[in-house]
Structure 1
Amino acid sequence: MKKSAGIAVGVIVALGALGTAGAWYTGKQLPATLEASIKQANDEMAKALPALGVNASIELLSLDRELFSSNARYRIKFSGPQDGELPSNLEWVVNDRIEHGPFPLSRLKAFKLMPVMASSNYALEQSPELEKWFAATKGVSPLNGQVSLGYDRSVSGTLELEPLQLPLDESTNLDFSGLTLDIDSSADGRDVSGRGQMDSLKVTSSLGDAPMSIEFQDLSLDSDLSKGSSEFYLGSNEVRLKAIALSLGSDNKPLLLKDVVQRDETSENGNFLAARYSYDVGMISYDGRDIGSSQMVWSLKNLDGKALQSMIALYGELMQADWQYQKTSSATGMPELSAEQEAKLKADLEQLLAGKPGLALEKLAFKTANGESSFKLALDIGKPASLDLPAPELAKQLISQFDAKLVVSRPMIGDVVSAQAAISGETDQEAIADQAQMMTEMASGMLLATELATLQGNDIVSSLHYANDQVDFNGKKMTVEEFVGMALAMGGGLGGGLGAPALDDEAPMLDEQLPEEGEASAGDTEQQ
Structure 2
Amino acid sequence: MKKILGSAIGVIVALGALSTAGAWYTGQQLPEVLGTSIKKANEDMAKTLPAVGFSATVELLSLQQQLFSSDARYRIKLVGSLDGEAPANFEWTVTDHIEHGPFPLSRLKALKLLPVMATSNYALERSPELEKWFAASQDGAPLQGQVSLGYDSSMQGDMRLQPLQMDLDEQTRIDFSGLNIDFDTTADAEQIAASGVMDSFKVSAKLASDESMRLEFKGMNLSSNTRKGVSDFYLGQNEVRLQQIELQIGENAPILFKDFVQRDETSEANQQLSARYSYDVGMISYQGTDIGSSQMLWTVKNLDAAALQSMVELYGTLLKDGKVDSESGMPELTDAQTAQFKTDLEKLLAGKPGLALEKLAFKTANGESSFSFGLDLNKPVSFDLPAPELAKQLIAQLDAKLRVSKAMITDVIGVQATLAGETDNEAIAQQAAMVGEMASGMAVASELAVLQGEDISSSLHYANDQVTFNGKQMTVEQFVALAMSSGGGLAGMAPEAPAEEMLLEESEAESPIQ
The TM tier, using the shorter chain, reads over 0.9
User: How far has the Cα of 1:333 moved from its partner?
Assistant: 8.5
Distance in 2 (CA, whole Å) between partners of 1:69 and 1:287 is: 58
Alignment-mate amino acid for residue 237 of structure 1 = N
| 2:129 is aligned with 1:133 | no
Matches for 1:221-236 after TM superposition, within 5 Å: 221-236=222-237
User: Higher Cα Rg: structure 1 or 2?
Assistant: 1
Percent identity, aligned pairs only, is: 64
CA distance in structure 2 between the partners assigned to 1:333 and 1:213 by the alignment: 29
For the residues of structure 1 that align with 2:498 and 2:240, how far apart are their CA atoms? 52
How far apart are the structure 2 equivalents of 1:19 and 1:514? 84
Which residue of structure 1 lines up, in the alignment, with residue 354 of structure 2? 358
Residues in 2 aligned to 1:375 and 1:255: alpha-carbon distance in whole angstroms = 24
**1:155-211 deviations in whole A, cap 9, x for unaligned?**
010000111111122243211111100011111111011000001111223567522
* Paired residues for 1:301-340 under 5 Å: 301-322=301-322, 336-340=332-336
What number of residue pairs does the alignment pair up?
500
| Per-residue Cα deviation, 1:284-319 (whole angstroms, up to 9, x for no partner) | 000110010000000000000011011111112222
1:28-47 pair list within 5 angstroms: 28-47=28-47
1:444 match: secondary structure? helix
1:511 deviation in Å? 7.1
| Cα distance change, pair 513–277 in 1 and its aligned pair in 2 (3 A) | closer
Report the counterpart of residue 188 of structure 2 in structure 1: 188
Find out whether 1:418 has 2:414 as its counterpart. yes
User: Where does residue 247 of structure 1 map in the other structure?
Assistant: 248
1:300 and 1:358 in contact (8 A); partners too: yes
Q: Residue 320 of structure 1: CA displacement?
A: 2.6
Distance 2:30 2:19 in 1: 16
Q: Which letter does structure 2 place at the counterpart of 1:135? A: A
Describe the superposition over 1:9-38 as per-residue Cα deviations: whole angstroms up to 9, x where unpaired: 111111101000000000000000001001
Aligned-partner residue type, residue 489 of structure 1: S
- Cα distance in 1, alignment partners of residues 390 and 84 from structure 2: 41
Residues 102-181 of structure 1: pairs in structure 2 closer than 5 A: 102-181=102-181
Once the two structures are TM-superposed, the CA of residue 57 in structure 1 deviates from its matched residue by: 1.0
Partner letter of residue 429 of structure 1?
A: N
Q: 1:321: Cα distance to partner?
A: 2.6
Query: TM-score normalized by structure 2?
Result: 0.93
Between 345-354 and 77-86, report the one with greater CA deviation.
77-86
Higher relative contact order (CA 8 A, sep 6+): 2
When normalised by structure 1's length, the TM-score is: 0.91
SS in 1 for 2:403: strand
4+ aligned runs moved over 6 Å, structure 1: 82-87, 323-326, 332-335, 510-515
From 393, 398, 401, give the equivalent of 1:397.
393
Residue of structure 2 equivalent to 1:382: 378
**1:368 lines up with 2:369 in the alignment:** no
Q: Which secondary structure state, in structure 2, belongs to the residue aligned with residue 293 of structure 1?
A: strand
Report SS of the residue matched to 1:116.
coil
**C-alpha separation in 1, matches of 2:330 and 2:387:** 25
**Are 2:165 and 2:174, in contact at CA under 8 Å, matched by a contact in 1?**
yes
RMSD over aligned Cα, in angstroms? 2.2
CA distance in 1, matches of 2:25, 2:349: 54
Could you tell me which residue of structure 2 aligns to residue 348 of structure 1? 344
Displacement of 1:105 in angstroms is 0.2
Distance (Å, rounded) in 1 between the aligned partners of 2:25 and 2:463: 68
1:485-515 alpha-carbon deviations (Å, 9 max, x no partner): 111222322343358xxxxxxxxxx778899
- Contact 2:300 2:353 survives alignment (8 Å): yes
Distance 1:189 1:106 in 2: 24
Q: CA contact under 8 A between 1:137 and 1:165: conserved in structure 2?
A: yes
**Aligned pair 1:66/2:66, yes or no?**
yes
Displacement of 1:388 in angstroms is: 1.3
Report the 3-state secondary structure (helix = DSSP H, G, I; strand = E; otherwise coil) of the residue aligned with 1:49: helix
Q: 2:262, 2:135 → 1: CA distance?
A: 33
Corresponding residue SS for 2:370:
strand
- Check the 8 A contact 2:406/2:436 in 1, yes or no: yes
Q: For residue 463 of structure 1, what is the amino acid of its counterpart?
A: S
- Contact 2:213–2:250 (CA under 8 A) maintained in structure 1: yes
Q: Distance in 2 between matches of 1:463 and 1:309?
A: 36
Q: Is 1:92–2:108 an aligned residue pair? A: no
Which residue identity lines up with residue 317 of structure 2 in the other structure?
A: E
Report the alpha carbon displacement of residue 336 of structure 1 after superposing the two structures with TM: 3.8
1:363-512 equivalences under 5 Å are: 363-498=359-494
Give distance in 2, aligned partners of 1:198 and 1:351: 42
* Residues 359, 380 of structure 1: 8 Å contact kept: yes
Checking the alignment, whether the CA contact within 8 Å between 1:80 and 1:323 is kept in structure 2 is: no
User: SS of 2:216's equivalent?
Assistant: strand
